[in-house]
Amino acid sequence: MGERYFANPYDDYDEKTHGKEENQLVARESVLELIKKYVDIIQQNVNSKMRDDLYVGIAGIAFMFWKLAQSDETKHMFPCLELASKYIGEAKHRSREKRDKSSKNAVAFLCGGSGIAAVSAAIANEMGKLQEMENDLESFLQGCPPCTNVKGTDADEVLVGRAGYLHGASWLNQAITPKPIENEAISEICQTLIKRGRSVAHSLRLAFPLMYEYHEKAYLGAAHGVCAILHALLESPWFDRDATDRFSGSPTKLTDIKSTIDYVLTLQDGDGNFPTRIDSNRMLVHWCHGCGGAIYLFAKAFLTFREDKYLDCCRKCADELWRHGLLRKGPGICHGVAGNGYAFLLMYRLTGEKRYLYRAVKFAEFLNSSSFASVLLAPDRPFSLYEGLAGTVCFLVDLLTPMRSSFPFMDVFERKCV
Annotated binding site for Zn(2+): 288, 334-335
Smallest gap from Cβ 408 to Zn ion, in A, equals 13
Give the whole-angstrom CA distance, residue 239 versus residue 236: 6
Quick note: the x/- pattern for Zn ion over 265-304, rule CB under 5 A, is -----------------------x----------------
Smallest gap from Cβ 96 to Zn ion, in A, equals 28
Quote the longest CA-to-CA distance of the chain. 60
- Name which of 180 and 325 has its Cβ closer to Zn ion: 325
Smallest gap from Cβ 339 to Zn ion, in A, equals 8
Question: Which residue's Cβ lies closest to Zn ion?
Answer: 288
Neighbours of 159 (CB within 10 A): 24
* First-residue to last-residue Cα distance in the chain: 47
Smallest gap from Cβ 228 to Zn ion, in A, equals 12
- Name which of 201 and 288 has its Cβ closer to Zn ion: 288
- Name which of 110 and 190 has its Cβ closer to Zn ion: 110
Binding residue positions = 288, 334-335
- Name which of 288 and 317 has its Cβ closer to Zn ion: 288
- Name which of 222 and 357 has its Cβ closer to Zn ion: 222
Smallest gap from Cβ 399 to Zn ion, in A, equals 21
Q: Is 281 exposed, middle or buried (0-12, 13-18, 19+ CB in 10 A)?
A: exposed
Q: Examine residue 224 and tell whether it contacts Zn ion (CB under 5 A).
A: no
Please tell me whether the peptide bond between 251 and the residue prior to it is cis, using omega within 30 degrees of 0: no
Smallest gap from Cβ 329 to Zn ion, in A, equals 8
4 in Cβ contact with 285 (< 8 Å): yes
Smallest gap from Cβ 223 to Zn ion, in A, equals 6
- Name which of 105 and 276 has its Cβ closer to Zn ion: 276
Smallest gap from Cβ 293 to Zn ion, in A, equals 9
316-335 positions binding Zn ion, by CB under 5 A = 334-335
Give the whole-angstrom CA distance, residue 89 versus residue 84: 8
Neighbours of 24 (CB within 10 A): 10
- Name which of 161 and 402 has its Cβ closer to Zn ion: 161
Total binding residues for Zn ion by CB under 5 A? 3
Buried/exposed code over 199-222 (b: 16+ C-beta within 10 A; e: otherwise): ebbeeeeeebbbbbbbeeebbbbb
> Helix, strand, or coil here: 241?
strand
Give the whole-angstrom CA distance, residue 218 versus residue 212: 6
Smallest gap from Cβ 374 to Zn ion, in A, equals 20
Neighbours of 319 (CB within 10 A): 16
- Name which of 366 and 386 has its Cβ closer to Zn ion: 386
40-69 positions binding Zn ion, by CB under 5 A = none
Give the whole-angstrom CA distance, residue 107 versus residue 115: 9
Give the whole-angstrom CA distance, residue 241 versus residue 187: 15
- Among residues 305, 302, 283, 383, the alpha carbon closest in space to that of 346 is found at 302
Q: Is 270 exposed, middle or buried (0-12, 13-18, 19+ CB in 10 A)?
A: exposed
Rounded to 10 deg, the angle between the 354-367 and 337-351 helix axes is: 160
Neighbours of 235 (CB within 10 A): 25
Give the whole-angstrom CA distance, residue 168 versus residue 158: 10
- Name which of 137 and 158 has its Cβ closer to Zn ion: 158
**Residues forming the site for Zn ion (CB under 5 A):** 288, 334-335
